[in-house]
Amino acid sequence: MKKQPVTTTTTPSNKSANSVHYSDGTELIPSGINSDLEDNDELVKGYTEDDEGLINNYAVEPAAYAASYPNPRQQLRYLFWGAGAVVFIVTILVIAFAVS
């Protein structure tokens, strides 16, 4: 930024102040503007920036792909876990009816 001269008025409390001092303007910039002053590189995936410079974070969605049919070993595992879940639910229901 270009330095701009700023004049000050002398009051009894600041008689030792110079009549002219130079400002580079950094103290006049609000904190939200700093993102505009820095390089406008590509944002990280999932981040978007609107017209006002506000940054939003959205979930990065993975690429979709077709699932493959489970092999016999996976099918047996699904059957085992399904049977275990049914036994667990039946046990919980039996305990609930026994207690009440």
For 21-75, the pLDDT digits (tens) are 666 666 665 555 555 545 555 555 666 777 776 677 666 777 889 999 999 999 9
- Which amino acid type is present at position 51? D
Q: Return the residue matching tokens 């580079």.
A: 24
pLDDT at 76: 97
CA distance 89 to 42: 51
CA distance 24 to 1: 6
Confidence of residue 8 (pLDDT cuts 50, 70, 90): low
**Do residues 38 and 52 make contact, with C-beta atoms less than 8 angstroms apart?**
no
pLDDT at 50: 72
Confidence of residue 87 (pLDDT cuts 50, 70, 90): very high
**Do residues 19 and 9 make contact, with C-beta atoms less than 8 angstroms apart?**
no
